[in-house]
Amino acid sequence: MNIQIAPLAILIFVVAVVVGVAVFKHTARAHGTAGRGDLGVAIGSAVGVAAVLAVLLAPGFGQATPVVPGAPPAGAAEQASVR
């Protein structure tokens, strides 16, 4: 079974992972009592970046486009009342 993944979704995922890794490495180099990287902050920043990119780059990402019914012609109500 093949799974179709949109290229935009892959791009968003890759950018989020790169940001998460960068934040993790940055917190690992920070001086102080925390000697290792902060995994929670790294995951949170990756999720935040993914959410912002999904909203900005793909409005309605993952949703079907709703069908909006057209408005009836202006004279349709008058014609229906006459009949």
pLDDT value at residue 2: 81
Question: Which class for 73: exposed (0-12), middle (13-18), buried (19 or more C-beta within 10 A)?
Answer: exposed
Backbone dihedral angles phi then psi of residue 79, each to the nearest 5 degrees: -70, -35
Angle of helix 39-57 versus helix 7-29 axis, rounded to 10: 150
pLDDT in tens, 34-67: 567 788 999 999 999 999 998 888 766 656 666 6
Report domain extents, the chain.
17-59
* pLDDT confidence band for 8 (50 / 70 / 90): confident
Q: What is the mean pLDDT of the chain?
A: 79
Q: What is the pLDDT of residue 50?
A: 93
